[in-house]
């Protein structure tokens, strides 16, 4: 069968199947199992309402369980075992973790990851908020937004190509084709710099790529939130004589703080998984290793699944604060 036809059929079956499932299961629940009539009407409605959330959740839970939760459990198991030649594996306790903690590269990755966590979400959100606010009232604001959002449409591999051109260095004396070195020389720099090989600072040159990509995301979401702010609050502030900066920081930002946190969290998660950019631009050399790339190295280059899985668990550990904070938030909403 031609893939295009197969694709159309899948869309039809997939979408039809989903809609059908949700629709029919609700009908069955409401009319056959717990009919909302007769003498048990109150009890039936209550029971139906207890079951319904699970009907809504079932497909999502199945997919999540299979595609994400199961691999997590499997990873945890792998991180505690060592594979034996010829198949099979043995339980080794925390040996993989011990080995990982003894590696200098791991600590370098961890340190860099913290640096990424500090810089990228903050910078992306700040730039995104700035862009959202500035473009909000311009007639051509949407065009400006589209252009800032554009990097979001570029794959990480494509972005790596773009930024390699920016950071490119040619031998001294020849003309520079990387804009950064051209500007550097123009400003009076003597030798062109190999930006990606300068320890510590090269991390920032890599982060710049992700900030460049993620700012568009932050901007789109925050711009929607800014438009949701009731006009009256802003107008009241103007009447009170507040300047534009006061309006922005005192009136607008507090009202969208929830959205800011969501954007921040989302970008934080992207940062924790950042892999393609580092992989394509430096592969963790010149002290730019990050955890996701370290894990990839261990899994597919060194083929040491034990340590690879252990480093994956490490990434999970880092996300734990976000997780706890979200549980706390969810609880508060319940009340």
Partner 1 sequence: MNAIAGQKPGLIWALRISVILLVGLWMFPTVGLFVSSFRTGDQIATSGWWKALFPTEQNLTLRTAAPDTQVQEADLFVIEGNLFEEATDAKISAWGTNAREIDAYGPGDTAELRGGERLTVAADGSYRLQSAQEMSGGRGPRVFVSALVPPEFTLQNYETILISGGSTDNLARAFFNTLTVTIPATIIPILIAAFAAYALAWMEFPGRALLIATIVGLLVVPLQLALIPLLKFHNEIGIGKGYLGVWMAHTGFGLPLAIYLLRNYMIGIPRDIIENARVDGATDFQIFTRIILPLSFPALASFAIFQFLWTWNDLLVAMVFLIDATGETTVMTKQIVELLGTRGGNWEILATSAFVSIAVPLAVFFAMQKYLVRGLLAGSVK
Partner 2 sequence: MKHTLMTAAAVAALVAGSASGQDLIFPVGEGAFNWESYSALEKTDLAGEQVTVFGPWLGPDQELVENVLAYFAAATGADVRYAGSDSFEQQIVVDAEAGSAPNIAVFPQPGLVSDMAERGFIAPLGEETAAWVKENYAAGQSWVDLGTFPGPDGADGLYGLFFKVDLKSLVWFNPENFEDFGYDVPTSMEDLKTLTDQMVADGNTPWCIGLGSGGATGWPATDWVEDMMLRTQEPAVYDQWVANEIAFDDPRVVEAIEEFGYFARNDKYVSGGAGAVASTDFRDSPKGLFASPPQCMMHRQASFIPAFFPEGTEMGLDADFFYFPAYEGKKLGNPVLGAGTIWSITNDSTGARALMDFLQSPIAHEVWMAQQGFLTPLKTVNTDLYATDTLKKMGEILLSADTFRFDASDLMPGGVGAGSFWTGMVDYAGGKPAAEVASEIQSSWDALK
Question: Which residues in 131-190 contact partner 2 (CB under 8 A)?
Answer: 169-172
Asked whether position 104 contacts partner 2 by CB under 8 A, the answer is yes
Structure tokens at 97: 């973790």
The entry of partner 1, partner 2, none that residue 125 binds, CB within 5 to 8 Å by partner kind: none
Q: Kindly identify the residues of this chain, within the stretch 190-219, that bind partner 2 according to CB under 8 A.
A: 194, 196-197
* Residue range at the interface with partner 1 (CB under 8 A); choices 91-99, 107-115, 118-126, 161-169: 161-169
Q: If you write DSSP's letter for every residue of 204-264 in order, what string do you get?
A: HHHHHHHHHHHHHHHHHHHHHHHHTS-HHHHHHHHHTT--HHHIIIIIIHHHTHHHHHHHH
Tokens 């480093």 locate to: 311
Size of the site for partner 1 (CB under 8 A): 110
Closest to partner 1 by CB, 119 vs 234, is 234
What lies within 8 Å, CB to CB, of 328 at 6+ separation is: none
Tell me if 83 contacts partner 1 by CB under 8 A.
Answer: no
Cβ 124 to partner 2, closest distance in Å? 25
Q: How many CA atoms lie within 13 A of 15 on its CB side?
A: 5
Which residues 232-251 are close enough to bind partner 1 by CB under 8 A? 234-235, 238, 244, 247
Q: How far is CA 259 from CA 49, 226, 254, 328, in A?
A: 30, 9, 10, 17
Among 28, 33, 41, 50, binds partner 1 (CB under 8 A): 50
Give the per-residue contact string, 284-323, with partner 1 (x = CB under 8 A; - = no). Answer: --------x--xx--xx--------x--x--xx--x--xx
Applying CB under 8 A, among 102, 190, 317, 320 the residue interacting with partner 2 is: 102
Scan residues 3-22 and list those touching partner 1 (CB under 8 A).
3-4, 6-7, 10-11, 14-15, 18-19, 22
Q: Nearer to partner 1 by C-beta: 180 or 203?
A: 180
Closest by CA to 294, choosing from 317, 280, 278, 271, is: 278
Are the beta carbons of 252 and 229 closer than 8 angstroms?
yes
Q: With CA atoms as reference, report the closest residue to 316 among 125, 26, 79, 67.
A: 79
- Is 291 a residue that touches partner 2 (CB under 8 A)? no
- In this structure, are residues 215 and 148 in contact, taking their beta carbons and an 8 Å threshold? yes
């Amino acid at each position: 069968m031609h893939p295009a036809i197969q694709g159309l059929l899948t869309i039809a079956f997939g979408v039809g199947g989903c809609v059908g499932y949700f629709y029919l299961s609700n009908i069955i629940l409401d009319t056959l199992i717990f009919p909302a009539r007769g003498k048990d009407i109150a009890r039936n409605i209550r029971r139906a309402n207890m079951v319904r959330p699970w009907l809504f959740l079932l497909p999502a839970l199945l997919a999540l369980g299979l595609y994400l939760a199961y691999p997590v459990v499997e990873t945890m198991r792998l991180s505690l075992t060592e594979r034996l030649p010829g198949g099979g594996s043995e339980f080794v306790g925390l040996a993989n973790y011990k080995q990982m903690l003894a590696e200098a590269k791991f600590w370098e990755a961890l340190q860099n990851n913290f640096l990424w966590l500090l810089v990228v979400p903050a910078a992306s959100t700040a730039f995104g908020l700035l862009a959202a606010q500035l473009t909000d009232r311009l007639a051509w604001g949407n065009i400006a937004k589209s252009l800032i959002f554009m990097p979001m449409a570029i794959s990480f591999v494509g972005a790596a190509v773009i930024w390699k051109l920016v950071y490119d260095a040619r031998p001294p004396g020849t003309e520079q084709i990387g804009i950064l070195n051209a500007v550097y020389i123009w400003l009076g720099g003597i030798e062109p710099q190999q930006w990606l090989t300068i320890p510590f600072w090269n991390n920032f040159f890599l982060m710049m790529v992700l900030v460049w990509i993620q700012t568009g995301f932050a901007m789109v979401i925050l711009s929607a939130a800014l438009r949701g702010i009731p006009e009256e609050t802003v107008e009241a502030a103007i009447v009170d004589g507040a300047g534009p900066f006061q309006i922005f920081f005192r009136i607008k930002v507090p009202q969208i703080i929830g959205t800011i946190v969501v954007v921040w969290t989302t970008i934080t998660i992207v940062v924790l998984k950042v892999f393609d950019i580092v992989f394509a631009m430096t592969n963790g050399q010149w002290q730019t290793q990050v955890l996701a790339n370290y894990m990839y190295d261990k899994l597919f280059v060194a083929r040491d699944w034990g340590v690879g899985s252990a480093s994956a668990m490490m990434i999970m550990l880092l996300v734990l604060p976000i997780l706890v904070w979200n549980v706390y938030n969810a609880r508060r909403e319940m009340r």
